[in-house]
Amino acid sequence: MVQAPDASAALEHPARPPGSSAGEFELIARHFRRPASRALLGVGDDCALLRAVPEQQWAVSTDMLVEGRHFLAGTDPRHLGHKALAVNLSDLAAMGAQPHSFLLALALPAADDAWLSAFSAGLFALAEAHDIELVGGDTTRGPLNLCLTVLGLVPPGMALRRDAARAGDDLWVSGVPGEARLALGHLRGEWTLGPDALEQVLPRLEQPTPRVALGLALRGLAHAAIDLSDGLLGDLAHVLRASGVGAEVLADALPGGRVLPTQPEARRRACQLAGGDDYELLFTAPRARRAEVQAAAAAAGVPVNLIGNVDGEPGLRLRDAAGRSIAADFPSFDHFAQP
Ligand code: ADP
Ligand code: MG
């Protein structure tokens, strides 16, 4: 892409003889170019070339991570490489798509070799674990910003869409939502966690686990699914609205893990119900298939919990273990509603 002229922008179109010090193309070659295996043509040309896949649909998604907005300045670049890909893989998981390939658009304040090699190590470790191939991208100078685009494959009619929940479905969630928010609150100084608690929850924030195997196992079994990025109640509301249904959520059925139950109740509930950054799957499935959901989750190696049910009454009702209703007014994360 052609940029506005800027004499200080030495990263892209550097004003120095070819081959002097590491510039844009050397950085790409060193840190992001790997031999193409799945792509017909990978990093290096104007476009990547992918073989068309018969009898499959593409699931495509982009997610951007901006320093100071999605991660704190000074975050370990290896964790950042992991997280940038993890949040994108999580979108494929939520659609029941099989990861195929991805693109990486990167703005960097400086051509920092050590930072880039740690970042790419985190990125490629997760990419290899999920058999997804980096096929192209863009690299430019600017405030730190990571934008990935992922491509996945799903057989026609098998995608887990937000608009497919039905009255009578069970409501399920994977993992332990709320731990990432608990860690973030500590880093922001909103509260203080002891070293053991922090060690437990910090990886949930910095290195979330995309639930790809679970998404695949739920094909043909779950009705609707969404990944939790902005908070459980807010993300559930998207599903309910898109599907034209309502739901009852049993707040005390949410799994607490080891650390959340040690927290004051108001903080625990706020983290669990509106935390964000969990990258767990929230999904609905017919009540009659409860045992199959449990078996599919066990086969995928992911814990799931039944947290409520979908009904025909519009809106979202929240109850505690004693059946008392709890106000469901936890704000979900909205970039434009925040200061
Ligand atoms: P163009 O000018 O045609 O956009 P670029 O100079 O931006 O090409 O990129 C050169 C090649 O390097 C392209 O194949 C592009 O996909 C790839 N590329 C650029 N940045 C990255 C990156 N961060 N990760 C992977 N591939 C990249
Ligand atoms: Mg380019």
What is the pLDDT, as a whole number, of residue 336?
Answer: 64
- Taking residues 9-21, what's their average pLDDT? 44
- Taking residues 114-130, what's their average pLDDT? 97
When comparing pLDDT for 104 and 11, which is higher? 104
Q: What ranges do the domains of the chain cover?
A: 24-154, 162-326
Is there an atom of ligand 1 within 6 Å of 108 CB?
no
For atom 18 of ligand 1, which residue has the closest CA? 137
Q: Which atom of ligand 1 lies closest to the CA of 12?
A: 6
Predicted confidence (pLDDT) at residue 291 exceeds the cutoff of 50 = yes
From 30, 119, 138, 151, the mutation candidate for ligand 1 (largest count of ligand atoms within 8 A of CB) is 138
3-state secondary structure the chain: CCCCCCCCCCCCCCCCCCCCCCCHHHHHHHHCCCCCCCCCECECECCCECCCCCCCEEEEEEEEEEECCCECCCCCHHHHHHHHHHHHHHHHHHHCCEEEEEEEEEEECCCCHHHHHHHHHHHHHHHHHCCCEEEEEEEEECCCEEEEEEEEEECCCCCCEHHHCCCCEEEEEECCCCHHHHHHHHHCCCCCCCHHHHHHHHHHHHCCCCCHHHHHHCCCCCCEEEECCCCHHHHHHHHHHHHCCEEEEEHHHCCCCCCHHHCCHHHHHHHHHHCCCCCCEEEEEEHHHHHHHHHHHHHHCCCEEEEEEEECCCEEEEECCCCCEECCCCCCCCCCCCC
Q: Give me the CATH code for the 162-326 domain, please.
A: 3.90.650.10
Question: Over the stretch 73-84, which tens digit does the pLDDT of each residue have?
Answer: 899 999 999 999
Residues measured by CB to lie within 5 Å of ligand 2, the ion: 138
What is the pLDDT, as a whole number, of residue 245?
Answer: 98
* CATH value of 24-154 in 3.40.190.10, 1.10.10.10, 3.30.1330.10, 3.40.50.300: 3.30.1330.10
Question: Over the stretch 306-317, which tens digit does the pLDDT of each residue have?
Answer: 999 999 999 999
Percent of residues, the chain, with pLDDT higher than 90: 85
Average pLDDT over all residues of the chain: 92
For atom 21 of ligand 1, which residue has the closest CA? 137
